[in-house]
Amino acid sequence: MTIAEKVQMFLERSSWIRKMFEQGAQLKARHGAENVFDFSLGNPNLEPPARFKEVLVDVAKASGSGHHSYMPNTGYASVRQAVAGFLSKEQGVTVTADEVIMTCGAAGALNVILRAILDPGDEVITPAPYFVEYGFYADNHGGVLKTVPTRSDFTLDLQSIQAAITPRTKVVLINSPNNPSGQIYSKESLLQLGSLLREEGRRLSRTLYLVSDEPYRKITFDGAEVPSIFSCYAESMIVTSYSKDLSIPGERIGFLAVNPQTSHKEDLLAGMALANRILGYVNAPALMQRTIQSLQGICVDPAIYEQKRNLLCDGLSECGYEFVKPRGAFYLFPKSPVPDDVAFVKALQEELILTVPGSGFGAPGYFRIAFCVDDDTIRRALPGFERVLKRF
């Protein structure tokens, strides 16, 4: 074998999202891209805000020395200051530039955190459904991902989380708004989770960290707001990116922030600064750092995604599908009409509709639809969704 056995195993159970994307490419080649309804990948279909392009051009034209040189591992001080200023307003807690590290997207941020805090065998608890890469990220750094169920509406089940905590638990990792369910965890549930982690940490004489993955924070519907994680629990960290709110996933720019009240803050930040370098990221891209410095708080219009959500939900409801209406992000996670969600997704492929089985997100019996597509794609796909449901 030419590759590591573990990597070979990972390939065999690798991301369903990518599998569906690849199968979609084959279908598009066979039937024409315009005839395939691709809801498989959470790739924003909105153009970045006009201001992004204006700032990007200005930054690219800027003269002076050092614009493309090495920088501190944590990122430019001026950029971190701008991020900290906005984050302080968002979280209702004063955050300084020293508590922010610029990263290569949210995925980079998660790997930096886990590299810095996990010892071999440490456990990372996450509610299911969950983003498919979490297990790989934990394994990258010797950790073990443990999943716990959520309630029927995909809200947090605190009893399940408590039951999963052991002396090896190090992190509870949440994602809100959630991919794939679109659920937003309430302030009350997060306060209760914080209280639970404090009590369990005291019992185990161990710091239990709460890490909140928030790349969809600004994409919410019906006036919903994402609560401040920093005000709910001191031993907390935030990871996020500008991929979704600025529609620039290919630019790989994001950050992590450590709660100013956390214990061992200096050690944490030093460890993460080192992890940023030794993982090979070194630092986040210089051009994108200087660009987002002037774009704090700017976002694509979430109302456009809300309109797409309503179009899809209304259509599928009329067909007879069951689902919890998402409060944020750009995914719908309906129930499969049969227990075998993989079989149902394959049946949808026969109608040239690409979705992702819920099994890939730790939630068999569901499937994910990414509605960050043209409205016409949604409209034209609805008859196919209806035909497949009737077959089952």
pLDDT of 8 = 79
Q: Residue 318, SS3?
A: helix
How far apart are alpha carbons 344 and 387 in whole angstroms? 12
H-helix or E-strand spanning residue 211: strand 209-213
C-alpha pair distances (Å), 271 with each of 117, 198, 230, 234, 265:
8, 23, 20, 19, 10
H-helix or E-strand spanning residue 240: strand 236-241
CB 373 within 8 A of CB 43: no
Q: Residue 201, SS3?
A: helix
Sign of CA dihedral 263, 269, 274, 278: positive
335 bridge partner residues:
366
Give the pair of three-digit tokens for residue 125: 């608890």
All structural domains of the chain, each given as residue ranges with its CATH number in brackets, are 5-48+300-391 (3.90.1150.10), 51-292 (3.40.640.10)
Alpha helices for 229-330 (secondary structure H): 265-278, 286-292, 302-319
- Judging by DSSP bridges, how do beta strands 169-175 and 123-128 pair with one another? parallel
pLDDT of 14 = 66
Give the pair of three-digit tokens for residue 177: 């708004």
* Rounded average pLDDT per 10-residue block, the chain, 392 residues: 80 67 79 88 94 96 87 96 98 98 98 98 98 95 98 98 98 98 98 98 97 98 97 98 97 98 96 96 95 97 98 98 98 97 94 94 97 97 97 90
**Would you call the peptide bond into 334 cis, given omega within 30 degrees of 0 as the criterion?**
no
**Would you call the peptide bond into 339 cis, given omega within 30 degrees of 0 as the criterion?**
no
Q: Taking the CA of residue 359 as centre, how many other CA atoms within 13 Å lie in the half-sphere pointing to its CB?
A: 14
Task: Say what the pTM is.
Answer: 0.95
Angle at 222 between CA 216 and CA 223, to 5 degrees: 75
Task: Please identify which residue in the block is written with the tokens 């459904």.
Answer: 129
pLDDT of 32 = 82
pLDDT of 25 = 78
The count of other CB atoms within 10 Å of the CB of residue 384 is 16
pLDDT of 30 = 86
Q: Residue 148, SS3?
A: strand
How far apart are alpha carbons 331 and 366 in whole angstroms? 12
